[in-house]
Amino acid sequence: MKDVIILGIESSCDETSVAVLKNGREVLSNVIDSQIKIHEKFGGVVPEIASRNHVQAISNVTNKALEEAKISFDEIDVVACTYGPGLVGALLVGVSYAKALSFALKKPLVAVNHIEGHIAANYITFKKLKPPFLCLIISGGHTHLVHIKDYTEFEILGKTKDDAIGEAYDKVARVIGLDYPGGPKIDKLAKEGKPTITLPETYFENLDFSFSGIKTAVLNLHHKDPKINKADLCISFEIASTNMLLKNTKKALEKLKVKKLALAGGVSANSYIREQFTKLGKDENIEVYYPEIGLCTDNAAMIASAGFYNYKANKLAKLDLNAVPNLKIGG
């Protein structure tokens, strides 16, 4: 079977990334131009600034990705890009660039759901991982439990009713004076703390999540006592929020009767969450997977991987492809 060389483009938020993969799992290059330093002073991503920086960076990032992969434009078989969810202006830069490449090179265009890309990051780290399995997607915008029935077939079992877990991490970090992005800062400070603070955990009869209650509780505690021990607050927050993830994940595993669980999304890089889910795997005799740290946050390698499986399933896009900022998984 002929190898498929796929070029992936990711521009959904504040990373401009281009990657080249062979057959969906072998990374030939994965170049990421991060804007974290630019947005740090604003305490979060400013959409207009993000879009302008994508425009400035995307050509250079593409050329660097091709150079590192040691291939030319002519050797690309498929062009894949994120078309949602994300910031509409940022998405449009990647979508427009991908459409132009597809047209100029006369190569197929594949549209990729950003969240499905996060799931596919596991295929790069674990070459033998195959569906079906359960995936917990935890990021700045999403907290989903998804049954991965096949490479392009997904069933949502549960999702957040309000804040995503990553959003809660960032808001908690901001109120206690930690820099953006807040998640890694909380993870680091939590290692110095003791779980002395009881925080509320929200559960439903189904597999949905809610993180607004715990976020508000932290904000109120800090407001009442600005001198509260921040390290203790961080570890207490991590424990309570992770407990919510664990309980619903256990219920979903029992419901599906599957023995494989993958984590995906930026928050899956959190060391405490990894530690607790590794323990879950051992206790419940479940295989637990999570991408290497560099593939947890936004990157184009995961988009190229998901794009490869869309291409194999003949799910091709047309040149009238548009950005869909509120795209749902399976969309």
On whether both 285 and 299 belong to a single domain, the answer is no
For residue 306, being part of any structural domain is answered with yes
In 3-state terms, what secondary structure has residue 46? Answer: coil
Count of structural domains within the chain: 2
In 3-state terms, what secondary structure has residue 173? Answer: helix
Task: Put residue 84 in one of left, alpha, beta given phi > 0 → left and psi -120 to 50 → alpha.
Answer: left
Say how many Å lie between the first and final Cα of the chain, rounded.
29
On whether both 11 and 105 belong to a single domain, the answer is yes
On whether both 84 and 227 belong to a single domain, the answer is no
Residue numbers of the domain that contains 15: 5-120+295-312
For residue 142, being part of any structural domain is answered with yes
For residue 12, being part of any structural domain is answered with yes
Q: Which residues of the chain have a pLDDT value below 50?
A: none
pLDDT tens string 171-205: 999 899 998 788 899 999 999 999 999 999 999 99
On whether both 63 and 113 belong to a single domain, the answer is yes
Q: Can you give the CATH number for the domain in which 51 is found?
A: 3.30.420.40
Contact 207, 145 (CB under 8 A): yes
On whether both 154 and 86 belong to a single domain, the answer is no
On whether both 246 and 155 belong to a single domain, the answer is yes
pLDDT tens string 33-65: 876 666 666 666 766 777 888 889 999 999 999
- Sign of the torsion angle spanned by Cα atoms 246, 248, 254, 260: negative
On whether both 104 and 145 belong to a single domain, the answer is no
> Whole-model pTM?
0.93
On whether both 170 and 258 belong to a single domain, the answer is yes
Vertex 10 angle, CA 31 and 57, to 5° = 60
- 162: exposed, middle or buried (C-beta count within 10 Å: 0-12, 13-18, 19+)? middle
pLDDT of residue 331: 61
On whether both 61 and 133 belong to a single domain, the answer is no
Vertex 266 angle, CA 272 and 302, to 5° = 130
What CA–CA distance (Å, rounded) separates 65 from 299?
12
On whether both 33 and 168 belong to a single domain, the answer is no
On whether both 102 and 229 belong to a single domain, the answer is no
On whether both 90 and 191 belong to a single domain, the answer is no
What CA–CA distance (Å, rounded) separates 298 from 21?
16
**Residues found in the chain:** 331
Q: Which two tokens stand for residue 178?
A: 């930690």
